[in-house]
């Protein structure tokens, strides 16, 4: 029962009695100060003390109010300052002062990279269901818009991300989402999120969108795993083939260049040799005209010397019927390198061992044991005669 209802015989909150008492209302402040003055030894004049006390109280309250206005903004934060609810500016990191009960500061972290996950089962363009998960990384660009442009900027970004993801997945096929089209999905989702949140001015900046590997429904998961493995094998084979091509192609180009250089060198050699021979014959032509026989014989001897320079046969004039003392210098030089201690042997080549050539000369093999034995027997016969 309330104190002022009929029938309440209790006292009121200010010490007065009920209906039968003298209801004077709440006590006067001047009476309170007068009582305090008496307790402190005053003369009962509460008016002067009341003014002094009020001044002291106001001074203390003013000091406390001034001290309470200091605040600090951290290094990674910015403070949004409101005065009577109206935006007046942004406080940078450091020590600042605000008018308590007049200004209000809201610190906002603008350096921290925030993450917002999103996932769901969505329908693709080819009418398949796929579960997609992604993570949006963002930071606060404008702290005032972040706090006051919407009721909850994070919730608005979450709704925009879900809408953008469903839009992008709905315009792509399932094979692209599960295999090679993940990068295109990421770029398209990022662009769609920025397009959606731009009119709302949330004060947020999207840094990146990380699309996690999509998963097919559990009923067909094994088949899609095989398809993904086949796609990866295909890509690996393509990369190996490209690597092999990059390895073989420079080698083939080097071989082609070497063959080309060799052909060019051979061409130049043949051309220069032909020019040299032509110049030589042009110089010999006047001499040939002056002495044809001598020049012809000289050319023949030079040619034979060049042809037979590496031949091991010995040519002997058929007109000379006597034995010829033959000194095999080529064999002696070869044996001299390995058997320097063995004495040199001379061979006498008989005229009967000679083979007649087309030019009227005879030839025989040098340094054969049979020819050496026949020459000694014939020599003994000649000495017996």
* 276-302: average pLDDT: 85
The answer to whether 33 touches 46, Cβ cutoff 8 Å, is: yes
| pLDDT above 60 (res 17) | no
Same domain, yes or no: 44 and 123: no
The pTM for the full model equals: 0.45
pLDDT attached to residue 33: 58
**In this structure, are 119 and 212 located in the same domain?**
yes
DSSP per position, 281-302: HHHHHHHHHH-HHHHHHHHHHH
In angstroms, rounded to a whole number, what is the distance separating the alpha carbons of residues 336 and 330? 10
Q: Residue 325's pLDDT is what?
A: 59
Q: Is 237 within the bounds of a domain?
A: no
Q: What is the DSSP letter of 213?
A: P
Q: Which of 160, 189, 216 is the last residue of a domain?
A: 216
Is residue 161 within 8 A of residue 114, CB to CB? The reply is no
Question: Domain end: 216, 237, 260, which one?
Answer: 216
Burial 147-184 (b: 16+ CB within 10 A, else e): beebeebeebbeebbbebbbebbeebbbbbbbbebbee
Segment 216-240 shows an average pLDDT of 81
Same domain, 155 and 125: yes
At residue 328, does pLDDT exceed 70? no
How would residue 1 be classed by pLDDT, with cut points 50, 70 and 90?
Answer: very low
Residue 131 CA to residue 133 CA, distance in Å, equals 7
Give the CATH number of the domain where residue 202 resides.
3.30.479.30
132 in any annotated domain:
yes
Q: Is the pLDDT of residue 350 over 50?
A: no
pLDDT tens digits, 26-74: 556 566 656 655 665 544 454 555 678 778 888 888 888 888 888 888 8
**pLDDT category of residue 319 using cuts at 50, 70 and 90:** low
Q: Is 85 left (phi over 0), alpha (psi -120 to 50) or beta?
A: left
Q: How far apart are CA 293 and CA 122, in angstroms?
A: 107
Domain count, the chain: 4
As a whole number, mean pLDDT of residues 113-132 equals 84
Q: How many CB atoms lie within 10 A of CB 313?
A: 13
Domain carrying residue 157: 114-216
CA atoms of 202 and 142, how far apart (whole Å) = 8
**What integer is the mean pLDDT of 239-243?**
92
Whether the predicted pLDDT of 238 surpasses 90: yes
Does the residue 193 lie in any domain? yes
Contacts of 308 (CB under 8 A, 6+ apart): 315
Q: Is the pLDDT of residue 23 over 60?
A: no
In this predicted model, which residue has the larger pLDDT, 352 or 248? 248
Which of 184, 216, 248 is a domain's end point? 216
Confidence check: pLDDT of 359 > 60: no
Reported as type and span, the H/E element at residue 133 is strand 129-140
Q: What is the pLDDT of residue 47?
A: 52
Strand partners, 114: 138
Determine if residue 195 is left, alpha or beta; phi over 0 gives left, psi from -120 to 50 gives alpha, anything else beta. Answer: alpha
368 with 323, same domain: the answer is yes
Amino acid 229: pLDDT: 82
Same domain, 38 and 97: no
- Is residue 304 assigned to a domain? no
Task: Provide the pLDDT for residue 195.
Answer: 92
The mean pLDDT of the chain is: 75
Please give the Cα distance from 101 to 355 (Å, whole number).
137
pLDDT of residue 274: 92
Higher pLDDT, 182 or 347: 182
Are residues 247 and 227 in contact, defined by beta-carbon separation less than 8 angstroms?
Answer: no
pLDDT band at 332 (very low <50, low <70, confident <90, very high): low
Q: Which two tokens stand for residue 216?
A: 């097919």
Q: How much is the pLDDT for 239?
A: 92
């Amino acid at each position: 029962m309330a104190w002022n209802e009929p029938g309440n015989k209790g006292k009121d909150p200010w010490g007065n009695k009920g209906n039968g008492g003298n209801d004077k209302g709440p006590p006067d402040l001047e009476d309170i100060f007068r009582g305090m003055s008496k307790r402190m030894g005053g003369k009962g004049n509460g008016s002067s003390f009341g003014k002094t006390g009020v001044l002291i109280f106001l001074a203390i309250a003013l000091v406390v109010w001034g001290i309470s206005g200091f605040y600090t903004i951290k290094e990674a934060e910015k403070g949004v300052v409101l005065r009577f609810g109206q935006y007046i500016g942004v406080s940078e990191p450091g020590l600042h002062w605000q008018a308590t009960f007049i200004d209000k500061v809201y610190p906002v972290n603008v350096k921290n990279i925030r993450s917002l996950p999103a996932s769901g089962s969505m329908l693709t363009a080819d009418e398949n269901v796929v579960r997609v998960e992604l993570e949006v990384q963002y930071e606060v660009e404008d702290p005032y818009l972040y706090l006051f442009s919407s009721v909850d900027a994070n919730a608005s970004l979450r709704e925009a991300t879900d809408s953008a993801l469903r839009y992008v997945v709905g315009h792509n096929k399932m094979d692209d989402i599960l295999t090679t089209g993940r990068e295109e999905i990421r770029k398209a989702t990022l662009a769609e999120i920025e397009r959606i949140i731009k009119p709302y001015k949330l004060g947020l900046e999207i840094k990146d969108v990380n699309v996690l590997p999509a998963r097919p429904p559990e009923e067909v998961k094994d088949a899609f795993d095989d398809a993904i493995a086949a796609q990866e094998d295909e890509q690996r084979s393509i990369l190996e083939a490209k690597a092999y091509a990059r390895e073989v192609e420079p080698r083939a180009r080097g071989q082609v260049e070497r063959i080309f250089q060799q052909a060019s060198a051979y061409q130049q050699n043949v051309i220069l040799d032909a020019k040299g021979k032509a110049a030589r014959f042009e110089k010999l032509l006047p001499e040939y005209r002056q002495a044809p026989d001598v020049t012809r014989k000289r050319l023949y001897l030079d040619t034979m010397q060049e042809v037979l320079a590496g031949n091991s046969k010995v040519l002997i004039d058929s007109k000379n019927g006597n034995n010829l003392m033959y000194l095999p210098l080529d064999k002696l030089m070869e044996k001299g390198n390995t058997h320097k201690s063995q004495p040199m042997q001379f061979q006498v080549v008989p005229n009967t061992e000679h083979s007649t050539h087309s030019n009227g000369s005879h030839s025989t093999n040098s340094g054969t044991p049979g020819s050496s034995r026949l020459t000694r027997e014939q020599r003994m016969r000649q000495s017996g005669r």
